[in-house]
Structure 1
């Protein structure tokens, strides 16, 4: 008798649950299709609002992608101080809450913003499970700055801005073509070397880096020593300066901090540095790290500005 009563209570409980769900949604599948879109991403499948209005992004490339598409996020992670933002972002950060630094999002801050969509650059950035409890959360398969074009398209799809994305790419292609025409045949036999001075390392952003992809799109040549490597960044010792860095023109990517500036000054005092063709010809151009490693269309536009500035007038 006791077992029978327990069984009856179980059936009643199940019935109440079914009725409750039915009252809240007479047709759940229609409700989902009307209010959101299913997005496949690295961490699984998520129903994303058709028109998200309160977006939190966990990465500067994602932030700039959204801005390029006409969407201003309510929160973002930054890798730099907002007061020291690169020029392509300095007038666009007002009103956007900083929700963390580097790869460390602050869950409490994100929760307080009441977002309706969170976009992560990769699944292991913070806690996906906890973030997805705050709002629908999607994670891209970001594996380096050579992925910047694919990441932009991922963000555009998530935001429902694929038409706007086409216009962004049209603008990029137009600027690339304008630069190609301005350069003409003047750089057919000239090699462009890209040096990165940062974090106690001497390195090169090679062909498959963010800036390397732009240089390739323009049709500019790179030294054979700066061919593609996994991640787009080749690190080497100072003994290999002449072997790895030599080129007719050098773009030196230097961070806006005292350590990087000091490292660049030390590099210029190295005897091997003075043997480089670009150094001897006075064609070494320092450029901003946050811009030349930006990984987004707004940064790409700024890199193209630098190429116009330094290459169109230096021949």
Structure 2
């Protein structure tokens, strides 16, 4: 889940954290055991050349050393085949079937593993404190975690697998992570194809969008909510395809990993045409965030509310994804609501 969860977690604690056509991403088939079949849908598998095959053969049992976002040096044997995912960008990358995942998240979504997600190794505990024994049982070659959340696990994982901490703050950084995973897993051609498909989609929308509607992404579990600023990952992508007048605070250099706490008074100042809502649920009887706001008189004054343009989105994708497949889904879902005719043209 994006780093902005830290903001929501603190709030809760205080109260109680360029192309002309773009293919639509259909749901992936489930039931296959071949991890290489778990690539992004609509991407043809590249048949390696003789030179690539020789290079891949030479790469077996070699070692790669690199630094993660914390500056920690990590060494892994190549190719990396079994990965434990503590953050969802790992599930998102290349369709590589994870050795283990935390509960919920992207894996059960139809574009990813659907019903097959239940057969993946499950990591108990919480997002903030995952069960180390479950990770060990999965026998991973590499564990991928989120900056600001999982660094403290490095010592406990020392005898299990290296911990690779990530924190993409822009689409370009998500692409760079994809490229790196392609190198580590020997799926370079797949990574290049996935990158191209996202950029084709993004550039099409950016070039053709009239950008005449304002949008806002808001998130939370109750009325003490936050927003994605234009300096966040999702906010920065939407800002390229429509009006997104929610700058990150200057104190953060105009660029945040996640978002910031906000108020309805401030939302009303810009009065967006469309609001995308991510509800964080912590109990079965949790109400959608948009329902909770109905008792607030300021909520009813918003243009998006008056015009029926408040949309509850899939939190697992919009709040947790971070990777290139999730960003592609977010673009399609947002544009199908903001500019349905443009979206229709894109997927034809």
Question: Following the alignment from structure 1 to structure 2, what is the Cα–Cα distance between the partners of residues 241 and 311?
Answer: 18
Q: Which residue of 1 aligns with 2:221?
A: 198
**Per-residue deviation at 1:81?**
9.9
Deviations along 1:91-124, one digit per CA (max 9) or x if unpaired, are 2524311123302232222222222333333484
SS at match of 1:51: coil
Asked whether the 8 Å contact 2:167–2:257 carries over to 1, the reply is: no
Deviations along 1:119-164, one digit per CA (max 9) or x if unpaired, are 33348445212312123x0322427678644444444443343443
Alpha carbons of structure 1 residues 224 and 133: separation in structure 2 relative to 1, 3 Å: closer
User: Does structure 1 residue 134 correspond to structure 2 residue 160?
Assistant: yes
SS at match of 1:231: coil
Alpha carbons of structure 1 residues 124 and 309: separation in structure 2 relative to 1, 3 Å: closer
Asked whether the 8 Å contact 2:272–2:302 carries over to 1, the reply is: yes
Unaligned runs of 5+ in 2: 1-58, 343-348
Q: Which residue of 2 aligns with 1:38?
A: 65
Alpha carbons of structure 1 residues 206 and 173: separation in structure 2 relative to 1, 3 Å: same
Alpha carbons of structure 1 residues 305 and 141: separation in structure 2 relative to 1, 3 Å: closer
Asked whether the 8 Å contact 1:255–1:289 carries over to 2, the reply is: yes
User: Does structure 1 residue 93 correspond to structure 2 residue 120?
Assistant: no
Name the TM-score, length of structure 1 as normaliser. 0.73
Question: Following the alignment from structure 1 to structure 2, what is the Cα–Cα distance between the partners of residues 77 and 178?
Answer: 34
Asked whether the 8 Å contact 1:118–1:138 carries over to 2, the reply is: yes
Question: Following the alignment from structure 1 to structure 2, what is the Cα–Cα distance between the partners of residues 224 and 44?
Answer: 33
Q: Which residue of 2 aligns with 1:221?
A: 243
User: Comparing both structures, which one devotes a greater share of its residues to strand?
Assistant: 1
SS at match of 1:130: coil
CA RMSD of aligned residues (A): 3.3
Alpha carbons of structure 1 residues 53 and 263: separation in structure 2 relative to 1, 3 Å: closer
- State which drifts further: 253-262 or 158-167: 253-262
Asked whether the 8 Å contact 2:95–2:112 carries over to 1, the reply is: no
SS at match of 1:176: helix
User: Does structure 1 residue 235 correspond to structure 2 residue 258?
Assistant: no
**Per-residue deviation at 1:235?**
1.0
**Per-residue deviation at 1:248?**
1.9
SS at match of 2:308: coil
Aligned positions, number: 274
Alpha carbons of structure 1 residues 130 and 160: separation in structure 2 relative to 1, 3 Å: farther
Asked whether the 8 Å contact 1:210–1:292 carries over to 2, the reply is: no
User: Does structure 1 residue 115 correspond to structure 2 residue 143?
Assistant: no
Alignment of 1:1-315 (within 5 A): 35-41=62-68, 42=70, 44-65=72-93, 69-78=94-103, 80=105, 85-91=108-114, 93-100=117-124, 101-122=126-147, 124-135=150-161, 137-142=162-167, 148-180=174-206, 183-185=208-210, 187=211, 189-217=212-240, 219-224=241-246, 228=254, 230-243=256-269, 246-255=271-280, 261=287, 263-293=289-319, 294-313=321-340
Q: Which residue of 1 aligns with 2:27?
A: none
Alpha carbons of structure 1 residues 273 and 87: separation in structure 2 relative to 1, 3 Å: farther
SS at match of 1:133: coil
Q: Which residue of 2 aligns with 1:20?
A: none
SS at match of 2:200: helix
**Per-residue deviation at 1:59?**
1.5
**Per-residue deviation at 1:266?**
2.9
Asked whether the 8 Å contact 1:251–1:285 carries over to 2, the reply is: yes
Alpha carbons of structure 1 residues 263 and 119: separation in structure 2 relative to 1, 3 Å: closer
